[in-house]
């Protein structure tokens, strides 16, 4: 199929972003693939996405992603991205991931469960008298508290990093990057690298029982992470653990407020169904809109020809609602088989490093909602923000009765 006859995904249309799934489904089922308004090929089917993520001729989009947004060598964000695990491929990616996995222990993930339970319940209890609040405005504090525990860092350290990262990163990776956004992002990442670099040096001189010290100590065949690699990996984990998780926590409240029948199912067996409930939320409302990839050699895939170096985009809502993978895919059903994973955390070499942490937090959030809310409902309809890297609603106002 030539690009002249391939349908265009209307990414410039705000109406599309309000509910993209019917359009994605039509394009996927009728045309298999599409293109973005800029002409980039877009993958929409599960089988094609799976093939591309597993074939060696394709890899994650690296520095090209921010070069297209006007960043250049020497810019603080460019230099940060140079070492980012999401931008690395091949042996470089395997090396960083292997060293990081030695520090990211199951114990460090499991200890966030009771903390998440405590803070979600506290949020509901705090607003119990009023019986309503805006989840979108309030929820970010919960993954923030969880990542403080997960990383074993001081609250003031986390607050400084969070303030520096807030907003600038998402803007810089979005589709409409201006010089003002570039300047703001570069200033932010320069300050971020300096601050976290100071934490690295502090842990080198005075080791502690925390993740940063474990990352410094991680070794494989005499190899260790460099100073810059430590800084970037640490901020990758920190940033990913807050913004994407807050998006999915908001979606957890949103989908259960819309579907009292599904919430009632979860109430009957919170522990038994929280895993499958979260897998359904991840499938139905992925945090990321798309996955950036590129061909590293001339290749044929999804019925298309790709030139070496050509970028492509996997539109995550396509494979996540592909009827060849999920029956009745537009139905929200928390009893689906949780072992049939969606594309939300990607697959292959770039399977999300922090997925276990996110799943643990979301499972406990869902269980607390089931146990401690009654008559949960929306008081106004949220609107999905257009043209963003991480999917967010503008608001998520809920009303409920608190159940102690």
Q: What is the pLDDT of residues 264-285, one digit of tens each?
A: 999 999 999 999 999 999 999 9
- d(Cα 18, Cα 11) in Å, to the nearest integer? 11
Q: Are 154 and 163 in contact (CB under 8 A)?
A: no
Give CA angle at 352 (346, 354), nearest 5°: 150
How high is the pLDDT of residue 100?
87
Q: Are 36 and 12 in contact (CB under 8 A)?
A: no
Rg of the chain on CA atoms, in Å: 21
How high is the pLDDT of residue 161?
83
| Confidence band for 1, pLDDT divided at 50, 70 and 90 | very low
Phi, psi of 52 (to 5 degrees): -65, -40
Q: What mean pLDDT is reported for the chain? A: 92
How high is the pLDDT of residue 218?
86
Phi, psi of 13 (to 5 degrees): -105, 120
Pick the CATH number of 14-402 from 3.40.718.10, 3.40.50.300, 1.10.630.10, 1.10.8.870: 1.10.630.10
How high is the pLDDT of residue 147?
86
pLDDT at 304 > cutoff 90: yes
Among 160-169, 209-218, 221-230, 326-335, which is the least confidently predicted range?
160-169
How high is the pLDDT of residue 109?
87
How high is the pLDDT of residue 37?
93
SS (H, E, C) the chain: CCCCCCCECCCCCHHHHHCCHHHHHHHHHHHCEEECCCCCEEECCHHHHHHHHHCCCEEECCCHHHHCCCCCCCCHHHHHHHCCHHHCCHHHHHHHHHHHHCCCCHHHHHCHHHHHHHHHHHHHHHCCCCCEEEHHHHCCHHHHHHHHHHHCCCHHHHHHHHHHHCCHHHHHCCCCCCHHHHHHHHHHHHHHHHHHHHHHHHHHHCCCCCHHHHHHHCCECCECCCHHHHHHHHHHHHHHHHHHHHHHHHHHHHHHHHCHHHHHHHHHCHHHHHHHHHHHHHHHCCCECEEEEEECCCEEECCEEECCCCEEEEECHHHHCCCCCCCCCCCCCCCCCCCCCCCCCCCHHHCCCCHHHHHHHHHHHHHHHHHHEEEEEECCCCCECCCCCECCECCCEEEEEECC
For 349, the token pair is 């070499």
- d(Cα 299, Cα 58) in Å, to the nearest integer? 8
How high is the pLDDT of residue 167?
60
Burial of 8 (0-12, 13-18, 19+ CB in 10 A): middle
Q: What is the percent of the chain with per-residue pLDDT over 70, rounded to a whole number?
A: 97
**To the nearest 10°, the Cα dihedral for 391, 150, 266, 325?**
50
pLDDT at 168 > cutoff 70: no
Q: pLDDT tens for residues 352-368? A: 988 999 999 999 999 99
How high is the pLDDT of residue 247?
95
pLDDT at 312 > cutoff 80: yes
How high is the pLDDT of residue 2?
46
pLDDT at 4 > cutoff 60: no
Q: Are 361 and 333 in contact (CB under 8 A)?
A: no
How high is the pLDDT of residue 102?
78
Among 5-14, 88-97, 103-112, 294-303, which is the least confidently predicted range?
103-112
Is pLDDT larger for residue 169 or for residue 237? 237
| Confidence band for 59, pLDDT divided at 50, 70 and 90 | very high
| Confidence band for 222, pLDDT divided at 50, 70 and 90 | confident
228: nearest Cα among 201, 209, 207, 205 = 201
Q: pLDDT tens for residues 113-150? A: 999 999 999 999 999 999 999 999 999 999 998 888 88
pLDDT at 92 > cutoff 50: yes
- d(Cα 15, Cα 144) in Å, to the nearest integer? 32
- Tell me the whole-structure pTM to 2 decimals: 0.92
pLDDT at 241 > cutoff 90: no
- d(Cα 1, Cα 115) in Å, to the nearest integer? 52
- d(Cα 72, Cα 18) in Å, to the nearest integer? 33
């Amino acid at each position: 199929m030539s690009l002249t006859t391939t349908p265009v995904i209307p990414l410039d249309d705000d109406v599309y972003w309000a509910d993209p799934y019917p359009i994605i489904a039509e394009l996927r089922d009728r045309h298999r693939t599409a293109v973005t308004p800029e002409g980039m090929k877009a993958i929409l089917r599960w089988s094609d996405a799976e093939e591309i993520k597993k074939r060696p001729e394709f890899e994650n989009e690296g520095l090209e992603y921010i070069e297209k947004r006007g960043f250049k060598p020497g810019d603080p964000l460019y230099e940060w991205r140079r070492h980012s695990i999401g931008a690395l491929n091949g042996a470089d990616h395997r090396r960083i991931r292997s060293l990081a996995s030695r520090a990211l222990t199951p114990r460090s993930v499991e200890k966030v469960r009771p903390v998440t339970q405590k803070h979600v319940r506290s949020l509901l209890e705090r607003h119990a008298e009023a019986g309503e609040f805006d989840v979108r405005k309030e929820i970010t504090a919960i993954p923030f508290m969880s990542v403080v525990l997960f990383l074993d860092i001081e609250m003031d350290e986390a607050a400084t990093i969070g303030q520096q990262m807030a907003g600038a990163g998402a803007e810089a990776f979005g589709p409409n990057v201006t010089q003002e956004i570039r300047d703001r992002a570069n200033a932010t990442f320069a300050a971020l690298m300096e601050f976290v670099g100071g934490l690295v040096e502090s842990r080198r001189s005075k080791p502690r029982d925390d993740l940063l010290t474990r990352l410094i100590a991680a070794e494989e065949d005499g190899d260790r992470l460099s100073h810059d690699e430590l800084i970037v990996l640490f901020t990758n984990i920190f940033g990913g653990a807050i913004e994407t998780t807050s998006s999915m926590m908001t979606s957890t409240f949103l989908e259960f407020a819309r579907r009292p029948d599904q919430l009632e199912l979860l109430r009957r067996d919170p522990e038994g169904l929280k895993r499958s409930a979260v897998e359904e939320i991840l499938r139905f409302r992925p945090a990321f809109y798309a996955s950036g990839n590129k061909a590293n050699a001339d290749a044929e895939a999804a019925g298309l020809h790709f030139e070496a170096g050509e970028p492509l985009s996997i539109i995550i809502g396509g494979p996540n609602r592909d009827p060849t993978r999920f029956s009745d895919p537009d139905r929200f059903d928390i009893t689906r088989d949780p072992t049939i994973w969606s594309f939300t955390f990607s697959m292959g070499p770039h399977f999300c490093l922090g997925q276990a942490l996110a799943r643990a937090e979301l499972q406990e959030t869902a269980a607390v909602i089931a146990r401690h809310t009654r008559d949960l409902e929306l008081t106004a309809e949220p609107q999905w923000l257009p043209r963003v890297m991480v999917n967010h609603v503008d608001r998520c106002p809920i009303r409920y009765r608190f159940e102690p």
